[in-house]
Amino acid sequence: MADDEQVPISAAHVLATFFDSAPVVGHPSVRARLPRVRGHLLTFLDTEAERWLTADELVLVCAERELEPVDAVVRVAGAELLLAALPAFCRPEWLLPARLDAGAQLHVAAGLGPWVLECGYLPGAQTRMLQERIDLAVARARERLDSRPQGRPTWGR
């Protein structure tokens, strides 16, 4: 390997660092919901993110799943996959059912791109382009979330 080539950072590393240190995950409305959001994101990536992988990455994921099936995609893929997949993570079928959990999910989705750029995991132009798609998906999801009927307790009737 040439001196100027670097081994890409895995999405697993990016996510672990993000969830451990990014200011956005310390927000009070997110902190309590973080385990649910993080688990949901990992499930999403494990089940849906393959469509953003290259043929070579798919071969690696298959081999990785033979060793350890859980989180194989994030161990093989890099930061670009995370950002490319986030708009789909904001689709109605992937929004967490509880309104506050879904809000935390969107908060995390919106914050991941700027954090990846700040940390230098992807070039700025590439991150900004992907972030525009994420921002649009988050805005649409927030509109849907805001239009969800508020559940009323059934006790005391």
Confidence at 154, pLDDT banded by 50, 70, 90: very low
Residue 78 phi, psi (nearest 5): -110, -165
Mean pLDDT in residue range 100-114: 94
- Check residue 156 and give left, alpha or beta (phi > 0: left; psi -120 to 50: alpha): left
Residue 98 has pLDDT above 50, yes or no: yes
Residues in the chain: 157
Q: What is the pTM of this model?
A: 0.86
Residue 155 has pLDDT above 50, yes or no: no
